[in-house]
Amino acid sequence: MVDELKQFAYDLLWTWQPRIEALFRALDPELWKSTRENPVLLLSQLGEDGVKRACERDEVRQAFEGARAVYHDYYDRHPRFMDAQAPMAIAYFSLEFGLSECLPIYSGGLGVLAGDHLKATSDLGLPLVAVGLLYKQGFGRQDIDAGGRQFEVYSENRGADLPVRKVEGVEVEAPMGTRNVRIAVWRVQVGRVSLFLLDTDLEANPQDLRNITDRLYVPEPDRRLRQEIVLGIGGVRALRALGIDSGVFHLNEGHSFLCAIERIRELRASRQMTLEEARLVARAGIVFTTHTPIAAGSDYFDSGLVWDLLGPYLSQVGISFDRFMDLGRQRPGDPRERLCTTYAALRLADQSVGVSRLHGAVSRRLWKDAWRGLPETQVPIGSVTNGVHMPTWVAPEIAELLGRFVGPDWWDLDPTDGRWHAVHEIPAADLWAVHGELKRRLFVLSDERAETPRELDLNALTIGFGRRFAPYKRANLLLRDRARLTKLLRNAKRPVQILFAGKAHPADQPGKDIVAGIVALAREEPRVVFMKDYDITLARHLVQGADVWLNNPRRFLEASGTSGMKAGANGGLNVSVLDGWWDEAYRPELGWAIPSGATLDRQEVDDVAEAEGLFRLLEREVVPLFYDRDEAGIPRRWVEMMKASMRNVVTQFAARRMVIDYFNTAYAPGARRVEQLRLLPDWGG
Ligand SMILES: *Cc1c(COP(=O)(O)O)cnc(C)c1O
């Protein structure tokens, strides 16, 4: 039993199989909480004797049988892509992965998306491995001081406390100027998928190289480039040392663009290819996803820095320094221009995509100069719209309803599957009761996380707003008209309450000002709550318990916005600007579109117009519909919208659909091209 428990603890499958999670909770509910839901830490703190004693209790034994059943079901199931034509492993590179609170190697949306990608890949049985970094310190936890300002608290990740295991006997090196940095490799098991994490904190390294993997998103370009060298170059070398012969590489954001350069080097070294040949073969297998809708969102590196850290390596690759720098320049040949990782990745990849249809169009405009002379409409940047991993984000109680009415494999059905009609047969009273329970659970968590006094009412319309507090997301849009907001909140018959959560980037002072503004509001209005330390646990409670999910960014700046998908899949109704995913998902039966002023160059005008539009929607449509009840107190029309939202979002905005799209449009064609090119006899043979 103890060995099996360890096996469950080191497999992140538990993060999307509630019955395995239930086993850990049953072992010791208090400890489960105090370890912040970390099964590895839980087992080590209980000790072998403690575990054995706990396992004598009936409810633990029952939970154990339940966990064991789903564990074996999962691995006995024959997933759809297990036998698919995937001639070689696909390697997925990302600087962050948001898989679970107990593995704090992520900061926000990009990382959670990468985590969801791996989980869905495991469900589908695709041959994919992933590469990232093991940070010694996680992203800072958020706390709030007496003046309402955010500050960050950093804690240390210790390998022994995390669901990671060192890969013994594997160490690789990556170039750092004239030196080499040694890299150890850890493995995380995400169901069927292995995630390899690179770590430079080794005694063999001098101090300034040991701390490369200290923390996520260091601001200094020098430290950032070092991390990107470890990820891109070290990552490919680690895969080879592990015996993984991947030819298709998926770069999640430009941070890992150096993986394409290392690929060129290895092809030249092992197959005696010319630079041009190697570039073509490497390129055939490079898939690049750009996430940022603004040019400033990329990394930029001065030529001096690039020379210092990569000069000797580039001569090994056999690419001239100027040519390398030009890969990342808007205007190749301009020596003053820095290297932009997005331009470099676009020029090295065969397939480049944005993360929603609208963001694809925004990206074509933004990066068109990578293809000088091509009209914007022909710029070869497509889109694969993001999706979220439904078994992770859909509440078990909602999953149970969907399982009963739509089918036990509701999360694994195609959008066109006729069984989805049955979602409309779920009795309104049942769905409303389940939603009420999820809302109650959210309020319980808000007891722990609320920064301010609260006066929450289970029957009041509850708006959730949870995301990074970057200024463009305008968490404070509703504060533009305090009188009108107060009227909504304090309405005696039809009150509205708002739950806010989100962190500003540690260096983002305007973002921190917005946090302070919301905290100040919450200190005055008991129906406004600021919940601190937005993380995966809080995000899950918020998207599952809110009646309405509010998203009001400046249009064109939200590339995707996955939290709205999480809410929509749980029956939360979106009220959102037509940006990112909502631009393609919105239909009146699913939620509301905030009219966009979108002059774009006059933000002050847009903010006023969009705040006005938002208030109008809330006052005239959202609040009245929510309080329109039948004799049993159920808002029938609202519940119908909940069902439509669940159906549409679960089928179309699932990570499952996203991974299948990547497979069909990029991974499989890429693998075929690489294979064909490899077989050409003249090319190194
Ligand atoms: C889903 C998620 C995000 C991304 O949300 P957006 O809507 O893209 O802002 C960020 N952080 C956490 C913890 C999440 O779960």
Three-state SS string across 159-192, please? Answer: HHHCCCEEEEEEEEEEEECCEEEEEEEEEEEECC
What residue's CA is closest to ligand 1, atom 8?
Answer: 561
CA–centroid distance, 549 to ligand 1, in Å, is 12
Dihedral sign for Cα atoms in the order 645, 385, 588, 613: positive
pLDDT averaged over every residue in the chain: 94
Pocket test for ligand 1, best of 102, 112, 649 (most atoms within 8 A of CB): 112
Residue 539 Cα: closest atom of ligand 1: 15
- Cβ neighbours of 591 (radius 10 Å): 25
**Which ligand 1 atom is nearest residue 113's CA?**
1
Q: Which fold has domain 394-653?
A: Rossmann fold (3.40.50)
Q: How much distance in Å is there from the Cα of 88 to the middle of ligand 1?
A: 32
pLDDT higher than 60, residue 315: yes
Which amino acid type is present at position 454?
A: R
Pocket probe for ligand 1: among 563, 570, 658, the residue whose CB has the most ligand atoms within 8 Å is 563
Q: Is 336 a residue whose pLDDT tops 80?
A: yes
Ligand 1 center from residue 108 Cα (angstroms) = 6
Question: What is the percent of the chain with per-residue pLDDT over 70, rounded to a whole number?
Answer: 98
12 has pLDDT over 50 = yes
- Ligand 1 center to residue 655 CA distance, Å? 14
Task: Kindly report the number of other CB atoms within 10 A of residue 336's CB atom.
Answer: 8
Quote the CA–CA distance of 437 and 420 in Å, as a whole number: 24
**Looking at ligand 1, which atom is closest to the CA of residue 564?**
7
Output the DSSP codes for 495-539.
-EEEEEE----TT-HHHHHHHHHHHHHHHH-TTEEEE-S--HHHH
Distances (CA, A) of 313 to 105, 152, 223, 283: 28, 37, 18, 19
pLDDT digits (tens, 9 = 90+) for 426-473: 999 999 999 999 999 999 999 889 887 778 999 999 999 999 999 999
Task: Measure 566 CA to ligand 1 centroid, in angstroms.
Answer: 9
- Ligand 1 centroid from CA 530, angstroms: 16
Which among 141, 465, 562 is the best mutation to test ligand 1's pocket, defined by most ligand atoms within 8 Å of the CB?
A: 562
Shortest-distance Cα residue to atom 12 of ligand 1: 108
CA of 254 to the centre of ligand 1 (A): 20
Strands 141-144 and 150-153: antiparallel
Band of the pLDDT at 79, cuts 50, 70, 90?
A: confident
> Which residue puts its alpha carbon closest to atom 1 of ligand 1?
563
Counting atoms of ligand 1 from 1, which one is nearest the CA of 467?
A: 9
198 CA from centroid of ligand 1 (Å): 25
82-141+152-386+660-678 topology per CATH: Rossmann fold (3.40.50)
CA-nearest residue for atom 4, ligand 1, is 109
- For ligand 1, atom 11, the nearest C-alpha belongs to 108
Q: What is the 558 CA–ligand 1 centroid distance (Å)?
A: 12
Rounded CA-CA distance 521/143 in Å is 17
> CA end-to-end span of the chain, whole Å?
52
Ligand 1 centroid to Cα of residue 571, in Å, is 17
User: Ligand 1: which atom is nearest the Cα of residue 566?
Assistant: 1
Residue located nearest, by CA, to atom 6 of ligand 1: 561
Farthest-apart Cα atoms in the chain, separation? 80
560 Cα nearest atom in ligand 1:
8
Report for 134-143, 288-297, 482-491: range of highest mean pLDDT:
482-491
pLDDT at 685 over 70: no
**266 C-alpha to center of ligand 1: Å?**
37
Query: What whole-number distance in Å separates Cα of residue 672 and Cα of residue 284?
Result: 9
Which residue's alpha carbon is nearest to atom 9 within ligand 1? 467
The alpha carbon of 308 and the centre of ligand 1 are apart by a number of angstroms equal to 36
Average pLDDT in the 485-500 region?
Answer: 97
Q: Which two tokens stand for residue 246?
A: 């991947």
Phi, psi dihedrals of residue 381, rounded to the nearest 5°: -115, 120
- Nearest atom, ligand 1, residue 535 CA: 13
Amino acid, res. 685: G
Q: Whose CA is nearest to atom 2 of ligand 1?
A: 109
Atom of ligand 1 nearest to the CA of 558: 8
Which residues, including other chains, have CB under 8 Å from residue 621's CB and lie 6 or more apart? 592
Strand partners, 287: 250, 351
- Could you tell which of 103, 467, 474, 554 is best to mutate to test the pocket of ligand 1, judged by most ligand atoms within 8 Å of the CB? 467
Residues with CB under 6 A from ligand 1: 108-109, 112, 467-468, 534-536, 539, 561-564, 566
From the CA of 563, give the closest atom in ligand 1.
7
The protein residue with its alpha carbon nearest to ligand 1, atom 5, reads: 563
Helix axes 428-449, 536-545, angle to 10 degrees: 140
Long-range contacts of 273-280 (CB under 8 A, 24+ apart): 273/683, 273/684, 275/318, 275/319, 277/683, 277/684, 280/677
Return left, alpha or beta for 169; rule: phi > 0 is left, psi -120 to 50 is alpha, else beta: left
Q: From the CA of 129, how far away is ligand 1's center (Å)?
A: 23
> Of 180, 60, 110, which Cα lies nearest the Cα of 467?
110
Instruction: Confirm if 577 and 562 have CB atoms less than 8 A apart.
Output: no
DSSP string computed for 218-277: -S-HHHHHHHHHIIIIIHHHHHHHTT----EEEEESGGGTHHHHHHHHHHHHHH---HHH
* pTM assigned to the model: 0.97
Residue closest to 267 by CA, chosen among 283, 255, 252, 254: 283
| pLDDT computed for residue 561 by the predictor | 94
Using a pLDDT cut of 90, give the percent of the chain over it.
88
Say how many Å lie between the CA of residue 64 and the centre of ligand 1: 32
**Length of the chain, please?**
685
Residue 219 pLDDT class (50, 70, 90 cuts): confident
Q: How far is the CA of 468 from the centre of ligand 1 (A)?
A: 7
Query: What confidence category does residue 52 fall into, taking pLDDT thresholds of 50, 70 and 90?
Result: very high
Nearest to 565 by CA among 422, 385, 400: 385
- pLDDT tens-digit series, residues 584-628: 999 999 999 999 876 667 888 889 999 999 999 999 999 999 999
Distance from residue 590's CA to the centre of ligand 1 (Å):
20
What is the per-residue pLDDT for 603? 85
pLDDT in tens, 494-544: 999 999 999 998 889 999 999 999 999 999 999 999 999 999 999 999 999
Task: Compute, in angstroms, the gap from residue 505 CA to the centroid of ligand 1.
Answer: 14
Atom of ligand 1 nearest to the CA of 388: 1
Do 82-141+152-386+660-678 and 394-653 agree at the fold level?
yes
How sure is the predictor about 87, in pLDDT bands with cuts at 50, 70 and 90? low
pLDDT digits (tens, 9 = 90+) for 169-180: 999 999 999 999
Distance 240 CA to ligand 1 centre (A): 33
The structural domains of the chain, with segments of one domain joined by +, span 2-76, 82-141+152-386+660-678, 394-653
DSSP string, 532-592: -S--HHHHHHHHHH-SEEEE-PPTT--S--THHHHHHHTTPEEEEES-HHHHHH--TTTEE
Atom of ligand 1 nearest to the CA of 473: 9
**């290392």: which residue's tokens?**
262
